[in-house]
Chains A and B, each alone.
Chain A
Amino acid sequence: MSSNYLPFDVDKIRADFPVLNQMINGKPLVYLDNAATSQKPQSVIDTLVNYYSTENANVHRGVHTLSQRATDDYEEARDKVKRFINAEKDEEIIFVRGTTEAINLISQTYGRSCMSEGDEIIISSMEHHSNIVPWQILCQEKGAILRVIPVNDLGELLLDEYERLFTDKTKLVSIVHQSNALGTINPAKEIVDIAHGHGVPVLLDGAQAIAHLEVDVRELGCDFYAFSGHKLYGPTGIGVLYGKESLLEEMPPYQAGGEMIKSVTFDETLYNVLPNKFEAGTPNIAGAIGLGAAIDYVETLGMGQIAAYESELLQYGTGRLSSIEGLKIIGTADKKGSVISFVMEGVHPHDIGTILDAEGIAIRTGHHCAQPLMDRFNVPATARASFAFYNTKEEIDVLVKGIDRVIEVFS
Protein backbone atom coordinates (compact mmCIF):
# COMPACT_ATOMS: atom_id res chain seq x y z
CA MET A 1 0.00 0.00 0.00
CA SER A 2 1.52 3.33 -1.00
CA SER A 3 1.58 6.15 1.48
CA ASN A 4 1.96 9.88 1.00
CA TYR A 5 2.50 10.27 4.69
CA LEU A 6 5.70 8.42 5.47
CA PRO A 7 6.82 9.07 8.12
CA PHE A 8 3.50 9.55 9.97
CA ASP A 9 2.95 13.31 9.67
CA VAL A 10 0.23 14.15 12.17
CA ASP A 11 0.20 17.89 11.42
CA LYS A 12 -0.45 17.19 7.77
CA ILE A 13 -3.13 14.65 8.64
CA ARG A 14 -4.86 17.06 11.04
CA ALA A 15 -5.13 19.61 8.23
CA ASP A 16 -7.32 17.09 6.38
CA PHE A 17 -9.94 17.25 9.16
CA PRO A 18 -11.57 20.70 9.17
CA VAL A 19 -13.59 20.08 12.34
CA LEU A 20 -10.43 19.76 14.43
CA ASN A 21 -9.45 23.33 13.71
CA GLN A 22 -11.76 25.17 16.08
CA MET A 23 -12.05 26.59 19.57
CA ILE A 24 -14.44 25.06 22.10
CA ASN A 25 -15.22 27.18 25.14
CA GLY A 26 -12.28 29.39 24.24
CA LYS A 27 -9.80 26.49 24.05
CA PRO A 28 -8.53 24.52 21.05
CA LEU A 29 -10.71 21.45 20.54
CA VAL A 30 -9.14 18.24 21.81
CA TYR A 31 -11.35 15.53 20.34
CA LEU A 32 -10.94 12.30 22.29
CA ASP A 33 -14.33 10.73 21.65
CA ASN A 34 -13.38 8.73 18.59
CA ALA A 35 -14.88 5.50 19.87
CA ALA A 36 -18.28 7.23 19.76
CA THR A 37 -17.75 8.66 16.32
CA SER A 38 -14.73 9.73 14.32
CA GLN A 39 -14.26 12.99 12.45
CA LYS A 40 -14.40 13.16 8.66
CA PRO A 41 -11.57 14.10 6.33
CA GLN A 42 -12.22 16.78 3.71
CA SER A 43 -12.12 14.12 0.98
CA VAL A 44 -15.17 12.39 2.49
CA ILE A 45 -17.03 15.68 2.90
CA ASP A 46 -16.19 16.63 -0.71
CA THR A 47 -17.35 13.24 -1.97
CA LEU A 48 -20.77 13.78 -0.37
CA VAL A 49 -21.04 17.31 -1.77
CA ASN A 50 -19.94 16.14 -5.23
CA TYR A 51 -22.35 13.26 -5.24
CA TYR A 52 -25.34 15.47 -4.49
CA SER A 53 -24.05 18.26 -6.75
CA THR A 54 -23.29 16.20 -9.83
CA GLU A 55 -24.78 12.73 -9.92
CA ASN A 56 -27.65 12.24 -7.47
CA ALA A 57 -30.01 9.59 -8.87
CA ASN A 58 -31.52 6.32 -7.79
CA VAL A 59 -29.47 3.18 -8.26
CA HIS A 60 -30.13 -0.05 -10.12
CA ARG A 61 -33.26 1.26 -11.82
CA GLY A 62 -32.72 3.95 -14.41
CA VAL A 63 -31.45 3.72 -17.94
CA HIS A 64 -30.41 7.36 -17.78
CA THR A 65 -26.86 8.54 -17.36
CA LEU A 66 -27.06 9.85 -13.82
CA SER A 67 -28.61 6.65 -12.57
CA GLN A 68 -25.82 4.71 -14.22
CA ARG A 69 -23.18 6.94 -12.64
CA ALA A 70 -24.75 6.62 -9.19
CA THR A 71 -25.03 2.85 -9.61
CA ASP A 72 -21.41 2.56 -10.72
CA ASP A 73 -20.15 4.59 -7.78
CA TYR A 74 -22.37 2.77 -5.30
CA GLU A 75 -21.14 -0.60 -6.56
CA GLU A 76 -17.56 0.64 -6.63
CA ALA A 77 -17.94 1.49 -2.94
CA ARG A 78 -19.07 -2.08 -2.32
CA ASP A 79 -16.00 -3.32 -4.12
CA LYS A 80 -13.77 -1.07 -1.99
CA VAL A 81 -15.32 -2.51 1.16
CA LYS A 82 -14.75 -6.02 -0.18
CA ARG A 83 -11.08 -5.32 -0.77
CA PHE A 84 -10.70 -3.46 2.52
CA ILE A 85 -11.82 -6.43 4.61
CA ASN A 86 -10.56 -8.99 2.09
CA ALA A 87 -13.92 -10.62 1.43
CA GLU A 88 -14.08 -12.98 -1.49
CA LYS A 89 -16.99 -11.46 -3.41
CA ASP A 90 -18.94 -8.23 -3.73
CA GLU A 91 -22.10 -10.26 -3.11
CA GLU A 92 -20.92 -10.81 0.44
CA ILE A 93 -21.04 -7.09 1.24
CA ILE A 94 -24.48 -5.87 2.37
CA PHE A 95 -24.94 -2.15 2.97
CA VAL A 96 -26.93 -1.41 6.12
CA ARG A 97 -27.39 1.60 8.40
CA GLY A 98 -24.69 0.57 10.81
CA THR A 99 -23.44 -2.17 13.10
CA THR A 100 -26.69 -2.21 15.04
CA GLU A 101 -28.75 -2.87 11.93
CA ALA A 102 -26.29 -5.52 10.77
CA ILE A 103 -26.67 -7.44 14.04
CA ASN A 104 -30.45 -7.05 13.94
CA LEU A 105 -30.43 -8.32 10.38
CA ILE A 106 -28.64 -11.49 11.47
CA SER A 107 -30.88 -12.02 14.49
CA GLN A 108 -34.04 -11.49 12.45
CA THR A 109 -33.06 -13.64 9.47
CA TYR A 110 -30.38 -16.17 10.29
CA GLY A 111 -31.36 -16.29 13.95
CA ARG A 112 -35.09 -16.60 13.37
CA SER A 113 -34.74 -19.30 10.78
CA CYS A 114 -32.29 -21.52 12.63
CA MET A 115 -33.27 -21.14 16.29
CA SER A 116 -35.89 -23.09 18.12
CA GLU A 117 -36.83 -23.66 21.75
CA GLY A 118 -33.92 -24.54 23.98
CA ASP A 119 -31.26 -23.47 21.46
CA GLU A 120 -28.40 -21.32 22.71
CA ILE A 121 -26.50 -18.21 21.62
CA ILE A 122 -23.11 -17.28 23.07
CA ILE A 123 -22.17 -13.63 23.61
CA SER A 124 -19.72 -12.07 26.09
CA SER A 125 -20.07 -9.82 29.10
CA MET A 126 -18.26 -7.00 27.30
CA GLU A 127 -20.89 -6.60 24.59
CA HIS A 128 -22.46 -3.31 23.58
CA HIS A 129 -26.23 -3.27 24.13
CA SER A 130 -26.59 -3.65 20.37
CA ASN A 131 -25.03 -7.12 20.63
CA ILE A 132 -27.17 -8.08 23.63
CA VAL A 133 -30.70 -6.83 23.09
CA PRO A 134 -31.31 -8.24 19.57
CA TRP A 135 -30.42 -11.69 20.96
CA GLN A 136 -32.61 -11.23 24.03
CA ILE A 137 -35.54 -10.41 21.79
CA LEU A 138 -34.82 -13.46 19.63
CA CYS A 139 -34.49 -15.64 22.74
CA GLN A 140 -37.83 -14.41 24.06
CA GLU A 141 -39.46 -15.11 20.74
CA LYS A 142 -37.99 -18.57 20.30
CA GLY A 143 -37.58 -19.74 23.89
CA ALA A 144 -33.84 -19.81 23.30
CA ILE A 145 -31.12 -19.16 25.89
CA LEU A 146 -28.35 -16.57 26.02
CA ARG A 147 -24.97 -17.77 27.35
CA VAL A 148 -22.40 -15.19 28.41
CA ILE A 149 -18.61 -15.53 28.44
CA PRO A 150 -17.22 -13.92 31.60
CA VAL A 151 -14.24 -11.54 31.69
CA ASN A 152 -11.35 -11.31 34.15
CA ASP A 153 -10.39 -8.20 36.12
CA LEU A 154 -8.22 -6.95 33.27
CA GLY A 155 -11.20 -7.06 30.94
CA GLU A 156 -10.13 -10.13 28.97
CA LEU A 157 -12.47 -12.92 27.90
CA LEU A 158 -12.03 -16.21 29.75
CA LEU A 159 -11.54 -18.55 26.83
CA ASP A 160 -11.65 -21.71 28.96
CA GLU A 161 -15.09 -20.69 30.16
CA TYR A 162 -16.04 -19.91 26.58
CA GLU A 163 -15.23 -23.43 25.46
CA ARG A 164 -17.29 -24.87 28.30
CA LEU A 165 -20.37 -22.95 27.15
CA PHE A 166 -20.77 -25.00 23.99
CA THR A 167 -23.47 -27.66 23.90
CA ASP A 168 -25.16 -29.43 21.04
CA LYS A 169 -27.78 -26.68 21.33
CA THR A 170 -25.38 -23.83 20.53
CA LYS A 171 -26.47 -22.17 17.30
CA LEU A 172 -24.47 -18.95 17.09
CA VAL A 173 -21.59 -17.04 18.69
CA SER A 174 -21.72 -13.23 18.51
CA ILE A 175 -18.73 -11.43 19.97
CA VAL A 176 -17.25 -7.95 19.88
CA HIS A 177 -13.88 -7.74 18.11
CA GLN A 178 -12.70 -4.69 20.08
CA SER A 179 -14.59 -3.54 23.18
CA ASN A 180 -15.92 0.01 22.98
CA ALA A 181 -15.90 0.47 26.75
CA LEU A 182 -12.57 -1.14 27.67
CA GLY A 183 -10.58 -1.22 24.45
CA THR A 184 -9.87 -4.95 24.80
CA ILE A 185 -9.02 -6.59 21.48
CA ASN A 186 -10.46 -10.07 21.62
CA PRO A 187 -8.63 -13.05 20.10
CA ALA A 188 -11.13 -13.18 17.26
CA LYS A 189 -9.45 -15.90 15.26
CA GLU A 190 -9.20 -18.19 18.27
CA ILE A 191 -12.86 -17.48 19.13
CA VAL A 192 -13.87 -18.38 15.58
CA ASP A 193 -11.73 -21.53 15.50
CA ILE A 194 -13.18 -22.79 18.77
CA ALA A 195 -16.75 -22.16 17.56
CA HIS A 196 -16.08 -23.82 14.22
CA GLY A 197 -14.67 -26.79 16.10
CA HIS A 198 -18.21 -27.17 17.44
CA GLY A 199 -19.77 -26.48 14.04
CA VAL A 200 -21.12 -23.10 15.18
CA PRO A 201 -20.94 -19.93 13.05
CA VAL A 202 -19.58 -16.65 14.43
CA LEU A 203 -20.65 -13.03 14.03
CA LEU A 204 -17.99 -10.46 14.93
CA ASP A 205 -19.07 -6.95 15.95
CA GLY A 206 -16.35 -4.88 14.34
CA ALA A 207 -17.74 -1.42 15.14
CA GLN A 208 -14.53 -0.40 16.93
CA ALA A 209 -12.00 -2.77 15.41
CA ILE A 210 -12.60 -1.70 11.82
CA ALA A 211 -11.05 1.73 12.39
CA HIS A 212 -8.01 0.55 14.31
CA LEU A 213 -6.97 -2.90 13.11
CA GLU A 214 -6.26 -4.58 9.81
CA VAL A 215 -9.40 -6.66 9.42
CA ASP A 216 -9.19 -9.66 7.10
CA VAL A 217 -12.43 -11.61 7.27
CA ARG A 218 -10.97 -14.59 5.44
CA GLU A 219 -8.03 -14.82 7.78
CA LEU A 220 -10.34 -14.45 10.78
CA GLY A 221 -12.59 -17.07 9.25
CA CYS A 222 -15.69 -15.40 10.72
CA ASP A 223 -19.06 -16.09 9.14
CA PHE A 224 -20.39 -12.57 9.61
CA TYR A 225 -18.66 -9.25 10.30
CA ALA A 226 -20.51 -6.01 11.11
CA PHE A 227 -19.27 -2.43 11.18
CA SER A 228 -20.36 1.20 10.87
CA GLY A 229 -19.03 3.76 8.43
CA HIS A 230 -19.03 6.65 10.86
CA LYS A 231 -16.41 5.13 13.14
CA LEU A 232 -14.20 4.63 10.10
CA TYR A 233 -14.08 8.36 9.24
CA GLY A 234 -17.09 7.95 6.93
CA PRO A 235 -20.64 9.28 7.10
CA THR A 236 -23.27 8.26 9.64
CA GLY A 237 -26.17 6.09 8.54
CA ILE A 238 -24.09 3.67 6.49
CA GLY A 239 -22.61 0.39 7.64
CA VAL A 240 -21.69 -3.02 6.39
CA LEU A 241 -22.68 -6.58 7.04
CA TYR A 242 -20.24 -9.05 5.61
CA GLY A 243 -21.52 -12.61 5.37
CA LYS A 244 -20.20 -15.75 3.76
CA GLU A 245 -22.05 -16.21 0.51
CA SER A 246 -23.25 -19.71 1.32
CA LEU A 247 -24.90 -18.49 4.54
CA LEU A 248 -26.39 -15.36 2.99
CA GLU A 249 -27.87 -17.46 0.20
CA GLU A 250 -29.68 -19.66 2.68
CA MET A 251 -31.02 -16.82 4.81
CA PRO A 252 -34.52 -15.43 4.35
CA PRO A 253 -34.72 -11.72 3.43
CA TYR A 254 -34.66 -9.03 6.12
CA GLN A 255 -36.83 -6.12 5.03
CA ALA A 256 -39.19 -6.45 2.10
CA GLY A 257 -39.86 -3.97 -0.67
CA GLY A 258 -38.28 -2.73 -3.84
CA GLU A 259 -34.76 -3.68 -4.89
CA MET A 260 -34.86 -6.98 -3.01
CA ILE A 261 -37.20 -8.68 -5.46
CA LYS A 262 -36.70 -10.41 -8.79
CA SER A 263 -40.37 -10.53 -9.68
CA VAL A 264 -43.64 -9.89 -7.88
CA THR A 265 -47.14 -11.14 -8.57
CA PHE A 266 -49.96 -11.26 -6.04
CA ASP A 267 -49.45 -15.00 -5.85
CA GLU A 268 -45.70 -15.19 -5.47
CA THR A 269 -42.57 -13.10 -5.10
CA LEU A 270 -39.13 -14.21 -6.16
CA TYR A 271 -36.29 -12.61 -4.23
CA ASN A 272 -33.39 -10.88 -5.84
CA VAL A 273 -29.87 -12.28 -5.83
CA LEU A 274 -27.18 -11.20 -3.35
CA PRO A 275 -26.50 -8.57 -2.19
CA ASN A 276 -29.74 -6.89 -3.31
CA LYS A 277 -31.84 -9.49 -1.48
CA PHE A 278 -30.89 -7.73 1.76
CA GLU A 279 -31.08 -4.15 0.52
CA ALA A 280 -34.78 -3.36 0.29
CA GLY A 281 -35.69 0.19 -0.65
CA THR A 282 -33.47 2.99 -1.88
CA PRO A 283 -30.19 2.59 -0.01
CA ASN A 284 -27.99 5.28 1.50
CA ILE A 285 -26.22 5.84 -1.80
CA ALA A 286 -24.27 8.94 -0.80
CA GLY A 287 -23.33 7.29 2.48
CA ALA A 288 -21.93 4.22 0.75
CA ILE A 289 -19.93 6.34 -1.69
CA GLY A 290 -18.72 8.46 1.23
CA LEU A 291 -17.66 5.30 3.05
CA GLY A 292 -15.70 4.33 -0.05
CA ALA A 293 -13.91 7.69 0.13
CA ALA A 294 -13.14 7.09 3.82
CA ILE A 295 -11.63 3.71 2.96
CA ASP A 296 -9.51 5.40 0.27
CA TYR A 297 -8.33 7.86 2.90
CA VAL A 298 -7.32 5.36 5.57
CA GLU A 299 -5.68 3.15 2.95
CA THR A 300 -3.48 6.07 1.98
CA LEU A 301 -2.26 6.18 5.57
CA GLY A 302 -2.15 2.40 5.88
CA MET A 303 -4.05 0.50 8.58
CA GLY A 304 -0.81 -0.97 9.86
CA GLN A 305 0.71 2.48 10.34
CA ILE A 306 -2.50 3.75 11.93
CA ALA A 307 -2.48 0.87 14.40
CA ALA A 308 1.18 1.42 15.25
CA TYR A 309 0.75 5.16 15.83
CA GLU A 310 -2.41 4.73 17.90
CA SER A 311 -0.72 2.10 19.98
CA GLU A 312 2.02 4.64 20.73
CA LEU A 313 -0.66 7.13 21.82
CA LEU A 314 -2.29 4.49 24.01
CA GLN A 315 0.97 3.64 25.68
CA TYR A 316 1.76 7.29 26.32
CA GLY A 317 -1.76 8.04 27.59
CA THR A 318 -1.82 4.97 29.82
CA GLY A 319 1.50 5.98 31.36
CA ARG A 320 0.42 9.56 32.01
CA LEU A 321 -3.05 8.76 33.32
CA SER A 322 -2.05 5.87 35.54
CA SER A 323 0.40 8.12 37.40
CA ILE A 324 -2.49 10.36 38.53
CA GLU A 325 -3.36 9.64 42.15
CA GLY A 326 -6.94 8.49 42.67
CA LEU A 327 -7.41 7.65 38.99
CA LYS A 328 -8.08 4.05 38.05
CA ILE A 329 -8.04 2.68 34.52
CA ILE A 330 -10.85 0.18 33.85
CA GLY A 331 -9.75 -2.29 31.22
CA THR A 332 -6.08 -3.18 31.23
CA ALA A 333 -6.06 -6.08 28.82
CA ASP A 334 -2.77 -7.11 27.32
CA LYS A 335 -4.11 -6.50 23.81
CA LYS A 336 -5.91 -3.17 23.67
CA GLY A 337 -7.08 -0.61 21.17
CA SER A 338 -6.57 3.10 21.76
CA VAL A 339 -9.22 3.51 24.46
CA ILE A 340 -8.67 4.55 28.07
CA SER A 341 -11.69 4.13 30.31
CA PHE A 342 -11.18 5.48 33.80
CA VAL A 343 -12.80 6.40 37.08
CA MET A 344 -11.67 8.88 39.72
CA GLU A 345 -12.09 8.60 43.44
CA GLY A 346 -14.92 10.79 44.68
CA VAL A 347 -15.74 12.27 41.27
CA HIS A 348 -18.51 11.00 39.05
CA PRO A 349 -17.57 10.60 35.35
CA HIS A 350 -20.19 13.16 34.32
CA ASP A 351 -18.56 15.82 36.39
CA ILE A 352 -15.22 14.88 34.84
CA GLY A 353 -16.81 15.26 31.40
CA THR A 354 -18.28 18.68 32.12
CA ILE A 355 -15.05 20.07 33.57
CA LEU A 356 -12.98 18.70 30.67
CA ASP A 357 -15.47 20.18 28.19
CA ALA A 358 -14.82 23.57 29.73
CA GLU A 359 -11.17 22.98 28.76
CA GLY A 360 -12.15 22.15 25.16
CA ILE A 361 -11.66 18.42 25.68
CA ALA A 362 -14.33 16.04 24.33
CA ILE A 363 -14.51 12.65 26.03
CA ARG A 364 -17.36 10.24 26.57
CA THR A 365 -18.82 9.65 29.99
CA GLY A 366 -21.45 7.14 31.01
CA HIS A 367 -22.06 3.44 30.72
CA HIS A 368 -21.04 3.31 27.02
CA CYS A 369 -24.14 1.24 26.23
CA ALA A 370 -22.53 -1.62 28.13
CA GLN A 371 -24.37 -1.67 31.46
CA PRO A 372 -23.70 -5.37 32.21
CA LEU A 373 -19.98 -4.65 31.82
CA MET A 374 -20.19 -1.65 34.17
CA ASP A 375 -21.88 -3.95 36.71
CA ARG A 376 -19.06 -6.47 36.26
CA PHE A 377 -16.51 -3.81 37.21
CA ASN A 378 -18.82 -2.44 39.88
CA VAL A 379 -18.85 1.10 38.50
CA PRO A 380 -21.96 3.02 37.43
CA ALA A 381 -20.10 4.67 34.59
CA THR A 382 -16.63 5.58 33.39
CA ALA A 383 -14.94 8.47 31.65
CA ARG A 384 -13.47 7.35 28.35
CA ALA A 385 -10.78 8.96 26.23
CA SER A 386 -10.42 7.28 22.84
CA PHE A 387 -7.71 8.19 20.35
CA ALA A 388 -7.55 8.33 16.58
CA PHE A 389 -4.54 8.77 14.29
CA TYR A 390 -5.08 12.54 14.21
CA ASN A 391 -4.59 12.86 17.98
CA THR A 392 -1.25 13.81 19.47
CA LYS A 393 0.75 13.32 22.63
CA GLU A 394 0.36 17.06 23.25
CA GLU A 395 -3.40 16.54 23.34
CA ILE A 396 -2.94 13.82 25.94
CA ASP A 397 -0.93 16.34 27.96
CA VAL A 398 -3.89 18.73 27.71
CA LEU A 399 -6.14 15.91 28.95
CA VAL A 400 -3.87 15.34 31.94
CA LYS A 401 -3.97 19.07 32.75
CA GLY A 402 -7.75 18.94 32.46
CA ILE A 403 -7.85 16.07 34.93
CA ASP A 404 -5.71 18.15 37.29
CA ARG A 405 -8.43 20.80 37.04
CA VAL A 406 -11.06 18.18 37.94
CA ILE A 407 -9.06 17.28 41.03
CA GLU A 408 -8.73 20.97 41.91
CA VAL A 409 -12.50 21.58 41.64
CA PHE A 410 -13.32 18.57 43.78
CA SER A 411 -10.55 18.98 46.35
Chain B
Amino acid sequence: MSNLNDLYQEILLEHNSKPRNYRKLDTHSHNADGFNPLCGDQISLYLQITDGVIMDVGFQGKGCAISRASASLMTQSIKGHKVEEAENVFDEFRKMLTEPDAVLDFEQLGDLETLAGVSEFPSRIKCAILAWHTMKAAIEETIEDVTTE
Protein backbone atom coordinates (compact mmCIF):
# COMPACT_ATOMS: atom_id res chain seq x y z
CA MET B 1 0.00 0.00 0.00
CA SER B 2 1.67 3.17 -1.19
CA ASN B 3 -0.15 5.38 1.31
CA LEU B 4 1.56 3.72 4.26
CA ASN B 5 4.12 6.49 3.93
CA ASP B 6 1.33 9.06 4.02
CA LEU B 7 0.19 7.53 7.28
CA TYR B 8 3.47 7.31 9.12
CA GLN B 9 4.85 10.70 8.18
CA GLU B 10 7.94 12.02 9.85
CA ILE B 11 6.07 14.65 11.87
CA LEU B 12 3.74 11.97 13.21
CA LEU B 13 6.61 9.69 14.18
CA GLU B 14 8.37 12.59 15.80
CA HIS B 15 5.32 13.53 17.88
CA ASN B 16 4.96 9.87 18.84
CA SER B 17 8.49 9.62 20.16
CA LYS B 18 8.51 13.11 21.71
CA PRO B 19 4.92 14.03 22.52
CA ARG B 20 4.34 17.70 23.39
CA ASN B 21 2.55 18.73 26.59
CA TYR B 22 2.94 15.20 27.89
CA ARG B 23 2.27 15.86 31.56
CA LYS B 24 -0.42 15.97 34.14
CA LEU B 25 -1.52 19.53 34.98
CA ASP B 26 -1.47 19.77 38.76
CA THR B 27 -3.93 22.62 38.60
CA HIS B 28 -6.56 22.28 35.98
CA SER B 29 -10.17 23.31 35.56
CA HIS B 30 -11.28 20.39 33.40
CA ASN B 31 -10.16 16.82 32.81
CA ALA B 32 -11.40 13.59 31.28
CA ASP B 33 -10.21 10.07 30.54
CA GLY B 34 -10.70 8.50 27.14
CA PHE B 35 -10.54 4.84 26.15
CA ASN B 36 -10.59 2.96 22.92
CA PRO B 37 -11.85 -0.42 24.12
CA LEU B 38 -10.98 -2.05 20.82
CA CYS B 39 -7.29 -1.19 21.05
CA GLY B 40 -6.77 -0.52 24.70
CA ASP B 41 -5.66 3.04 23.89
CA GLN B 42 -6.06 5.22 26.94
CA ILE B 43 -5.61 8.95 27.48
CA SER B 44 -5.97 11.31 30.44
CA LEU B 45 -6.42 14.92 29.37
CA TYR B 46 -6.16 18.02 31.55
CA LEU B 47 -7.28 21.51 30.59
CA GLN B 48 -6.87 24.84 32.34
CA ILE B 49 -9.66 27.01 30.95
CA THR B 50 -9.85 30.61 32.09
CA ASP B 51 -12.48 33.01 30.74
CA GLY B 52 -13.26 30.66 27.88
CA VAL B 53 -9.63 30.33 26.81
CA ILE B 54 -7.60 27.09 27.01
CA MET B 55 -4.61 28.51 28.87
CA ASP B 56 -2.85 25.20 29.35
CA VAL B 57 -3.29 21.60 28.32
CA GLY B 58 -1.54 18.34 29.14
CA PHE B 59 -2.08 14.65 28.51
CA GLN B 60 -0.79 11.26 29.54
CA GLY B 61 -1.64 7.79 28.38
CA LYS B 62 -0.83 4.66 26.46
CA GLY B 63 -1.56 4.06 22.85
CA CYS B 64 -0.40 3.58 19.31
CA ALA B 65 1.69 6.09 17.38
CA ILE B 66 -1.39 7.57 15.78
CA SER B 67 -3.31 8.16 18.99
CA ARG B 68 -0.25 9.53 20.74
CA ALA B 69 0.81 11.82 17.93
CA SER B 70 -2.75 12.97 17.44
CA ALA B 71 -3.04 13.88 21.13
CA SER B 72 0.28 15.70 21.00
CA LEU B 73 -0.68 17.64 17.87
CA MET B 74 -4.04 18.45 19.37
CA THR B 75 -2.53 19.99 22.48
CA GLN B 76 -0.38 22.24 20.30
CA SER B 77 -3.32 23.18 18.18
CA ILE B 78 -5.72 24.15 20.97
CA LYS B 79 -3.39 25.70 23.52
CA GLY B 80 -4.03 29.44 23.86
CA HIS B 81 -7.24 29.25 21.84
CA LYS B 82 -10.82 29.88 22.81
CA VAL B 83 -12.90 26.81 23.63
CA GLU B 84 -15.19 27.36 20.66
CA GLU B 85 -12.20 27.68 18.34
CA ALA B 86 -10.93 24.35 19.62
CA GLU B 87 -14.33 22.83 18.96
CA ASN B 88 -14.31 24.24 15.44
CA VAL B 89 -10.91 22.70 14.81
CA PHE B 90 -12.28 19.36 16.02
CA ASP B 91 -15.13 19.63 13.50
CA GLU B 92 -12.65 20.38 10.75
CA PHE B 93 -10.38 17.55 11.87
CA ARG B 94 -13.23 15.07 11.91
CA LYS B 95 -14.25 16.18 8.44
CA MET B 96 -10.71 15.61 7.22
CA LEU B 97 -10.77 12.00 8.47
CA THR B 98 -14.30 10.97 7.65
CA GLU B 99 -15.55 13.05 4.71
CA PRO B 100 -13.34 12.42 1.70
CA ASP B 101 -14.96 15.17 -0.41
CA ALA B 102 -15.10 17.86 2.25
CA VAL B 103 -13.61 21.28 1.53
CA LEU B 104 -11.15 21.81 4.35
CA ASP B 105 -9.75 24.87 6.03
CA PHE B 106 -6.08 23.90 6.02
CA GLU B 107 -5.07 27.13 7.69
CA GLN B 108 -7.16 26.22 10.69
CA LEU B 109 -5.88 22.62 10.65
CA GLY B 110 -2.21 23.62 10.51
CA ASP B 111 0.06 20.70 11.51
CA LEU B 112 -2.98 18.48 12.02
CA GLU B 113 -2.93 17.98 8.27
CA THR B 114 -0.16 15.47 9.02
CA LEU B 115 -2.90 13.08 10.07
CA ALA B 116 -4.86 13.34 6.81
CA GLY B 117 -3.46 9.97 5.70
CA VAL B 118 -5.39 8.25 8.52
CA SER B 119 -8.58 8.64 6.46
CA GLU B 120 -7.27 5.87 4.20
CA PHE B 121 -7.16 3.48 7.18
CA PRO B 122 -10.70 3.21 8.53
CA SER B 123 -9.66 0.96 11.40
CA ARG B 124 -7.32 3.66 12.68
CA ILE B 125 -9.62 6.70 12.56
CA LYS B 126 -10.72 6.00 16.12
CA CYS B 127 -7.09 6.15 17.24
CA ALA B 128 -6.69 9.63 15.75
CA ILE B 129 -9.96 10.95 17.11
CA LEU B 130 -9.73 9.66 20.69
CA ALA B 131 -7.90 12.70 22.08
CA TRP B 132 -10.44 15.03 20.52
CA HIS B 133 -13.42 13.17 21.95
CA THR B 134 -11.71 13.33 25.30
CA MET B 135 -11.20 17.09 24.92
CA LYS B 136 -14.87 17.54 24.14
CA ALA B 137 -15.82 15.45 27.17
CA ALA B 138 -13.50 17.45 29.41
CA ILE B 139 -14.98 20.71 28.19
CA GLU B 140 -18.49 19.45 28.69
CA GLU B 141 -17.40 17.93 31.99
CA THR B 142 -18.93 14.60 31.15
CA ILE B 143 -18.83 12.57 34.31
CA GLU B 144 -18.40 9.18 32.71
CA ASP B 145 -15.27 8.09 30.87
CA VAL B 146 -15.36 8.53 27.13
CA THR B 147 -15.01 5.69 24.70
CA THR B 148 -14.74 5.68 20.95
CA GLU B 149 -17.39 3.00 20.70
Contact = CB atoms under 8 A, between A and B. Distances in A.
Q: Do A and B bind each other?
A: yes
A409 B127 contact: no
Nearest to A347: B65
Interface stretch (B38-46, B74-82, B93-101): B38-46
A381 B40 CA distance: 7
Interface size class of B (residues with CB under 8 A): 20 to 34
Contacts of A357: 1
Interface of B: 1, 4, 7-8, 13, 17, 38-42, 62-66, 68, 121, 123-124, 127
A255 interface: no
Contacts of A351: 8, 64-66
Of all A-B residue pairs in the complex, the 5 with the closest CB atoms, nearest first, are A348-B64, A350-B64, A358-B1, A25-B1, A358-B4
A132 to B, nearest CB: 15
Nearest to B121: A354
A409 B42 CA distance: 23
B32 to A, nearest CB: 19
Contacts of A25: 1
B38 A354 contact: no
Given A350-B124, A358-B1, A380 B40 contact: yes
Given A367-B40, A374-B40, A381-B40, A346 B124 contact: no
Given A380-B62, A409-B8, A410-B13, A350 B39 contact: yes
B145 to A, nearest CB: 15
Contacts of A349: 64
Interface in A329-348: 346-348
Contacts of A354: 4, 7, 121, 123-124
Interface of A: 25-26, 346-351, 354-355, 357-358, 365-367, 371, 374, 380-381, 409-410
Contacts of B17: 346
A411 to B, nearest CB: 9
B133 to A, nearest CB: 17
Contact of B38 (A358, A366, A409, A410): A366
Given A25-B1, A354-B7, A366 B66 contact: no
Contact of A381 (B8, B39, B66, B123): B39
A354 B42 CA distance: 19
A347 B1 CA distance: 20
A355 B38 contact: no
A355 B66 contact: no
Nearest to B118: A354
A370 to B, nearest CB: 11
B103 to A, nearest CB: 28
Given A351-B65, A354-B7, A380-B63, 11 more contacts: A26-B1, A347-B65, A348-B64, A349-B64, A350-B41, A354-B121, A366-B38, A366-B40, A374-B40, A380-B42, A410-B8
A365 B42 CA distance: 15
Nearest to A367: B40
B63 A348 contact: yes
Contacts of A367: 40
B73 to A, nearest CB: 16
Nearest to B42: A380
A380 B124 CA distance: 17
B47 to A, nearest CB: 24
A66 B123 CA distance: 44
Contacts of B40: 366-367, 371, 374, 380-381
Contacts of A409: 4, 8, 13
Contacts of B41: 350, 380
Contacts of B13: 409-410
Contacts of B127: 350
Nearest to B62: A380
A26 B13 CA distance: 25
Contacts of B38: 366
